[in-house]
Amino acid sequence: MQEQNTNAGQGLGIAGLVLGVLAIPLGLIPCTFFIALVFGAVGIVLSAIALSQANRGKGPRGLIIAALVCSILGFSFAFFWGITLKKASPVIKSVIQEIKQEGNLEEVFKDLGNNTEEILKDLEIEEQDSIQETNQDMEEKERALEDSLRVLEGVK
């Protein structure tokens, strides 16, 4: 007896594939991760239902598995951005609060520029001190080597 191939689950599989393919680029963009979460979740559900129908109806499963994989990928990317932005939100809020308190964005950037100049000057001073210390160490080692050389020449 021959098994009859059907198209069971193919319609839902195509819908799941479209949603999964849309969820991937939307999940990669931080601003659109909410949409990607919805598309990915709906794509996963549709693909799972389609896979169940294909198994019961002995239909092809390749497209449905691809839909499931794309939906899971899109959902995962969006979930990653959601977690990342949630962790970064206190920092973003504090920066926005600081800008609001200053009242003028231009002043905030000027202060940031002034602080940067001070930091660079401090680093330059530290670098010069470090170079002077290195030069002194090298001179001491040079004297020690010359002394050692004189001692060795005197031994001959």
Q: How far is CA 26 from CA 23, 32, 88, 121, 130, in A?
A: 5, 5, 20, 44, 50
Assign 35 a pLDDT band (cuts: 50, 70, 90). Answer: very high
d(CA 50, CA 39): 16
Q: Report yes or no: 55 and 6 within 8 Å, Cβ to Cβ.
A: no
Buried b / exposed e across 113-136, counting CB within 10 Å, b at 16+? eeeeeeeeeeeeeeeeeeeeeeee
Is the pLDDT score of 11 beyond 70?
yes
Model-level pTM greater than 0.75? Answer: no
Mean of per-residue pLDDT scores for the chain:
82
Residue 21 amino acid letter: V
Is the pLDDT score of 138 beyond 50?
yes
